[in-house]
Amino acid sequence: MEAIIKLENAVIRQQQNTILKEVSLEIAEGEFVYLIGKVGSGKTSLLKTLYAELPLKYGTGEVAGYKLNKIKKSQIAYLRRKCGIVFQDFKLLTDRNVYANLEFVLKATGWKDKKAIRERINEVLEKVGLPEKRDKFPHQLSGGEQQRIVLARALLNAPPIILADEPTGNIDPETAYQLVELLKDICDSGKTVVIATHQYELINRFPGRVFRCENGALQEDFSFAEKQAVKNKAIETVEHIDLTEETEEIEESISIPEETTESTFETEVPEETIVIQEEITINDPIVETQVEENEQKEKKKDDNDPDVVGFELI
């Protein structure tokens, strides 16, 4: 894939201060990229250099075909049309509603046909899932909704690049996941997305290339990709386990022989015992006489005993 963002030995400066030096990176069309690092490490300054808010005086750079170290002031507006920019602090116009905010951007970038403007605004609001908010003012929206409107604004001119500077910094975690998922979907449609963030859990949930700003330098961080590779391998291993074979092995280990019937589990009495029992109880006259005598004694005893039931009633 052809690089749409390229820096070679660039020095990122903020006024007279050097923030990052010897910066070299290439980002291809359609890539999903994170810039990570502590607050003040240079993430925002790097993004500002990419859309020419900070000039590139040392080294070389190119974004969407514009050479950053040679760009003229008259070309900066055209470069920015190639870069949809999502700010952490929204930067929505508070004195007008959502539709008017988006309309202002389109008119400022040369759109004149009212019907085309209306259709384009409806398209981007559908894209971010907020078509019903077109008449709301910024103060009537939640933080997450405002950030989605900012993203809609960034998509108005169908830029090939989205640059998002801490887009989840002012919203709750669940809304942050939803926003980054939306950015991932936009990337999957063919656009290049670069997100500056210090929320590393986003990377674990939505993997991409990672560059770390640290100690005045920019380096690609492969640790997140390695962790993701291990995770994917573990998932593949689980998916390839043949549960049918495992189940068959378990069934074999506890299986019951086919010849076994329910009577197998009944208590078996040796045949000899049964025969002896029959001989004693049925054929022996001595035993029969003894049984009769015992019955007579019991009867006599019962006649001499007091009537328990009658005693209780008395």
| Residue 260 covered by a domain | no
Q: Same structural domain for residues 232 and 284?
A: no
Q: Same structural domain for residues 75 and 219?
A: yes
pLDDT digits (tens, 9 = 90+) for 10-28: 999 998 899 999 999 999 9
| Residue 194 covered by a domain | yes
| Residue 264 covered by a domain | no
| Residue 36 covered by a domain | yes
Out of 26-40, 44-58, 217-231, least confident range: 217-231
pLDDT reading at 292 higher than 90: no
- Helices 173-188/143-155 angle, 10° precision: 20
| Residue 160 covered by a domain | yes
Q: How confident is the model at residue 87 (pLDDT cuts 50, 70, 90)?
A: confident
b or e along 163-190 (b: 16 or more beta carbons within 10 Å of the residue's beta carbon)?
bbbbbbbebeeebbbbbbebbbebbeee
For residues 68-84, give the mean pLDDT: 94
Q: Same structural domain for residues 154 and 66?
A: yes
b or e along 7-16 (b: 16 or more beta carbons within 10 Å of the residue's beta carbon)?
beebbbbeee
Q: Same structural domain for residues 224 and 276?
A: no
Residues in the chain: 314
Is-contact 202 193, C-beta < 8 A?
Answer: no
Q: Same structural domain for residues 173 and 293?
A: no
**Domains held by the chain: number:** 2
Of residues 100 and 239, more confidently modeled: 100
Determine the pLDDT at residue 244. Answer: 58
pLDDT reading at 294 higher than 60: no
Q: How confident is the model at residue 247 (pLDDT cuts 50, 70, 90)?
A: low
Nearest to 81 by CA among 183, 26, 154, 189: 154
Q: Same structural domain for residues 152 and 51?
A: yes
Q: Same structural domain for residues 133 and 46?
A: yes
Of residues 79 and 169, more confidently modeled: 79
Determine the pLDDT at residue 257. Answer: 53
For residue 103, the tally of other CB atoms under 10 A from its CB is: 19
Nearest to 221 by CA among 37, 84, 85: 37
Where is the domain boundary, 237, 264, 293? 237
Q: Same structural domain for residues 300 and 160?
A: no
Q: Same structural domain for residues 22 and 168?
A: yes
Output the average pLDDT for the chain.
82
For residues 31-53, give the mean pLDDT: 95
Percent of the chain with pLDDT over 70: 74
pLDDT reading at 288 higher than 90: no
Where is the domain boundary, 180, 210, 237? 237
Determine the pLDDT at residue 90. Answer: 84
| Residue 249 covered by a domain | no
Q: Same structural domain for residues 188 and 288?
A: no
CATH number at residue 232: 3.40.50.300
Q: Same structural domain for residues 12 and 83?
A: yes
Look up the pTM and report it. Answer: 0.72
Determine the pLDDT at residue 246. Answer: 55
| Residue 245 covered by a domain | no
Determine the pLDDT at residue 274. Answer: 43
Determine the pLDDT at residue 1. Answer: 72
Q: Same structural domain for residues 172 and 309?
A: no
Strand partners, 162: 84, 193
CB within 8 Å of 129: residues ≥ 6 apart: 148, 182
Where is the domain boundary, 194, 222, 237? 237
Sign of CA dihedral 238, 242, 243, 245: negative
Using left for φ > 0, alpha for ψ between -120 and 50, and beta otherwise, residue 15 falls in left
Instruction: Give the Cα separation of 162 and 181 in Å (integer).
Output: 14
| Residue 184 covered by a domain | yes
Residue 306 belongs to domain spanning: 272-313
pLDDT digits (tens, 9 = 90+) for 170-203: 888 899 999 999 999 999 999 999 999 988 999 9
